Amino acid sequence: MKPEQQLELLTPHPANVVTDEQLLEKLRQGRPLRIKYGADPSAPDLHLGHSIPLRKLKQFQELGHQVIFIIGDFTGRIGDPSGRTKTRPILTDEDIQANAQTYVEQVGQILDTDRCEIVYNSSWFSDMTTTELLNLASQYSVARMLERDDFALRLKNEVSITVLELLYPLIQAYDSVAVEADVELGGTDQLFNFLVGRDIMRSYGQEPQVVMTLPLLVGTDGKQKMSKSLGNYVGITEPPGEMFGKLMSIPDRLVFDYDRLLLDPDNKVVPTLPPNVPVDGIFKYMAQNPRDVKADLAEAVVAMYHSPEAATRAREEFDRVFAAGQQPSEMPEIVITNADLEDGRIWIIDLIMQADFGNSNSQARSLVRQNAVSINDEVITDEMAEVEVASGDVLRVGRRRFARIQIQSR
RNA sequence: GGAGGGGUGCCCGAGUGGCCAAAGGGAGCAGACUGUAAAUCUGCCGGCGAUUGCCUUCGGAGGUUCAAAUCCUCCCCCCUCCA
């Protein structure tokens, strides 16, 4: 494909590129470009936020370019002592190996991993001499480093920054040197690091990489960026029903972002709009109930990561349970043994705890008190209740937690 | 190295001898209303027991006291300024 066409394909709206001209120039060299993507070895659960850069990588791949995954095991091994929130444990080699493997497996959902180059950055850092490291450190100034947004913020808020953290961007930048990246790709929050990469590559006599940043996906809470630790994510390996439900719970206005960032051009659920439609008027323009558009979106996303059939089923199931108020067709089982029963009865709190629907008796009690607990659609109001249970009974806690009771004699 | 400020529950943050399981806010959970949306209202929000009870918690370890998050000693960590 001609370089100009490639550029057009690669850089429609979402991407921010430094710079288009340089990318075009690289494309014109007519060789497969080396596309760098860095991965954190501590978080093997990939979610829809990750899918944005990954899908872009796939595009590059389909155009015949070489994708290089860098597993940041070196820094993972050192362990970053900062984050005074939680001292994150230093990862062992086994952890890293295992994480990297799950990571690659999950990436395989989107990309052809056989055609990716997968490298560990320890392979060049563990042999680096102190002299070399110091030399690297001398290539950049503290002032410039502190320009970084979050550093500036932490400085202002009197939160400590370790020297290691200060060095982090350099470590990452050196990765680009090591793999001779032509393009580095990631979320917009990586812009600073990527730009440091350009400078460092110049210092090492290389042609600076082109930097391509993609928008971050807002999480299901509608507030913060999607991340595993915030619990507002939709994992790309989650079961269809789970995915569908989570997508239904996003605030309406996110539909447009999700549609734009997660779906392929040929399966959009939001039509191309005339230029003067305000954001809050889009649903009106579409003449559709926001809820239905959201369901279309959820179905489209599930179809991408599972199958159209699975997506349809997830939607039907969802409608049955939440619109029609019926029980889900499948639910986990809890096994109660005879030993737990007295005259075929069990304390409701015990039952909830056995089903793992409460963190503590106190919490379970409070759920009962708040009318959140029912058996076979009959609400339990008394926290001291000894309920009679039989196999096949359905325990429900809150809106969405169901379990089928199975009595087992022992 | 010197001077000062600080470490409180998931997070932020008040409390400076008893009325403190610890204000307030946020997050979370549940209920009402709904469309597993938003907004709003209500309740819960350390654990165990249960109508006023017990146990564990305020950086760590000791100590003073009838009684400590609050006072004393030592230690650890963070921040600011000076060098």
pLDDT digits (tens, 9 = 90+) for A160-191: 788 888 888 899 999 999 999 999 999 988 89
The closest nt to A292, taking CA to C1', is B35
Last residue of a domain, one of A298, A323, A348: A323
**pLDDT tens readout for residues A196-246:** 999 999 999 999 999 999 999 999 999 888 988 788 999 999 999 999 999
Note whether A207 and A67 are same-domain residues. yes
Note whether A317 and A340 are same-domain residues. no
CB A140 within 8 A of CB A199: yes
On whether residue A245 sits in a domain, the answer given is yes
Backbone angles phi, psi at A149, to 5 degrees: -50, -55
**Cβ atoms within 10 Å, residue A19:** 10
The pLDDT value recorded for residue A143 is 85
- CB A244 under 7 Å to nucleic chain B: yes
Q: Cα dist. A375→A19, A59, A361, A368, A405 in Å?
A: 61, 50, 18, 11, 10
On whether residue A251 sits in a domain, the answer given is yes
CA of A362 to C1' of B22 (A): 19
The pLDDT value recorded for residue A247 is 95
**pLDDT tens readout for residues A335-391:** 988 888 888 889 999 999 999 998 899 999 999 999 999 999 899 988 888 999 999
Note whether A249 and A392 are same-domain residues. no
Rounded Cα gap, residues A45 and A119, in angstroms? 19
- CB A367 under 7 Å to nucleic chain B: yes
Q: How many domains does chain A have?
A: 3
A89 against A130, higher pLDDT: A130
Note whether A284 and A345 are same-domain residues. no
CA of A366 to C1' of B34 (A): 24
- CB A328 under 7 Å to nucleic chain B: no
On whether residue A388 sits in a domain, the answer given is yes
Q: Which helix (H) or strand (E) holds A208?
A: none
Note whether A312 and A340 are same-domain residues. no
On whether residue A77 sits in a domain, the answer given is yes
Q: Which nucleotides of B are covered by protein (CB under 7 A)?
A: 11-12, 27-32, 34-38, 43-50, 77-80
| Residue-number span of the structural domain to which A67 is assigned | 3-214
CA of A374 to C1' of B65 (A): 52
What CATH code is carried by the domain that includes residue A343?
A: 3.10.290.10
Note whether A191 and A54 are same-domain residues. yes
Last residue of a domain, one of A300, A323, A346: A323
Note whether A53 and A193 are same-domain residues. yes
Both tokens of residue A354?
């056995």
On whether residue A129 sits in a domain, the answer given is yes
ipTM of the complex: 0.86
On whether residue A224 sits in a domain, the answer given is no
| Alpha helices (H) in A127-239, listed in sequence order | 130-137, 142-145, 149-156, 163-179, 191-203
Last residue of a domain, one of A323, A355, A372: A323
The pLDDT value recorded for residue A14 is 65
Residue with tokens 């199931």: A317
Q: Which of residues 10-69 of A touch strand B (CB under 7 A)?
A: none
CB A184 within 8 A of CB A173: no
On whether residue A233 sits in a domain, the answer given is no
Note whether A281 and A137 are same-domain residues. no
Q: Which of residues 164-223 of A touch strand B (CB under 7 A)?
A: 221-222
- CB A284 under 7 Å to nucleic chain B: no
Residues with Cβ within 8 Å of residue A284, at least 6 apart in sequence = none
Note whether A295 and A351 are same-domain residues. no
Note whether A202 and A251 are same-domain residues. no
The closest nt to A84, taking CA to C1', is B78
- CB A370 under 7 Å to nucleic chain B: yes
Rounded Cα gap, residues A216 and A14, in angstroms? 10
